[in-house]
């Protein structure tokens, strides 16, 4: 809940940050980092289907929450299993409804309008994947369907979603099925580097260890001389 609140505050503050140049960075192993929102997306926008969780890539909101909570993703580049996934966040406010071309009301709207550069009410063949992006688009299996947000509306049986065919942000019954795009907080590269630094002993610790080892070797040599 705390992380979600921080993300909502970040989305609200973005309009006052001046010109924001979003960068999507491919961290390898199917992980894409957004350096403005400080979140990491799965490169596969239909991973629930390609991983075999559902044959149609769509789940009810409750099933989507359950799936993303239990998701364990193997990062073969860093040798880590990431298990702290969630659904994208939306600011629960009537102003979030419709076409937020500024991308400030949700992580999905920011992805659609800012990162990918899609236009509102984009018209294309409904049986094709999502349209080609005008910006750098490292993602795969991005569909024209609606994608669930992890945010409930004021009604406990309705949740937010963004439709990637129109760019429209709406609320829908949690019993209906939408697609699922997993995201997590932070940068996998920075986190693994930080953890590696924590695991490296301080120089003073290394010095003590070496001194102790030399003392043990010295004692053994003295014993053999006797």
| Mean pLDDT, 10 residues at a time, the chain of 226 residues | 53 49 89 97 97 93 98 97 98 96 96 90 55 80 93 98 92 97 97 74 57 58 50
pLDDT score of 204? 60
Task: Kindly state whether residue 225 falls inside one of the protein's structural domains.
Answer: no
How many other C-beta atoms lie within 10 A of the C-beta of residue 77? 14
Residue 213 lies in a domain: no
In a domain, 216, yes or no: no
Provide the domain count of the chain: 1
Q: Structure tokens of 188?
A: 């996998």
The residues, ordered by sequence, that sit 6+ positions from 16 with a Cβ below 8 Å of its Cβ are none
- Identify the bridge partners of residue 75 per DSSP, sorted by sequence position: 80
pLDDT of residue 16: 43
Domain enclosing residue 29, as ranges: 2-186
Let me know if residue 80 belongs to a domain: yes
Residue 36 domain flag? yes
Decide if 76 is inside a domain: yes
Looking at residue 12, its pLDDT comes to: 55
């Amino acid at each position: 809940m705390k992380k979600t609140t921080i993300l909502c505050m970040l989305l609200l503050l973005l309009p006052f940050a001046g010109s924001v140049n979003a960068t999507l960075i491919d961290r390898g192993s199917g992980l894409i980092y957004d350096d403005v929102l400080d979140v990491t997306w799965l490169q596969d926008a239909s991973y629930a289907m390609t991983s075999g969780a559902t044959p149609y890539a769509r789940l009810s909101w409750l099933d989507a929450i359950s799936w993303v909570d239990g998701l364990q993703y193997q990062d073969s580049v860093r040798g880590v299993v990431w298990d702290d996934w969630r659904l994208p966040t939306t600011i629960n406010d009537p102003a979030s409804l419709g076409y937020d071309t500024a991308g400030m009301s949700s992580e999905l709207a920011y992805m659609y309008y800012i990162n990918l550069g899609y236009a509102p009410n984009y018209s294309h063949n409904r049986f094709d994947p999502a349209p080609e992006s005008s910006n750098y688009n490292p993602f795969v299996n991005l569909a024209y369907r609606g994608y669930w947000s992890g945010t409930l509306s004021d009604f406990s049986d309705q949740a937010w979603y963004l439709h990637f065919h129109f760019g429209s942000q709406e609320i829908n019954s949690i019993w209906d099925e939408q697609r699922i795009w997993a995201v997590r907080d932070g940068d996998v590269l920075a986190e693994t580097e930080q953890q590696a630094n924590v695991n490296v002993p301080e120089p003073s610790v290394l010095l003590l260890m070496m001194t102790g080892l030399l003392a043990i070797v010295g004692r053994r040599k003295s014993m053999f001389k006797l």
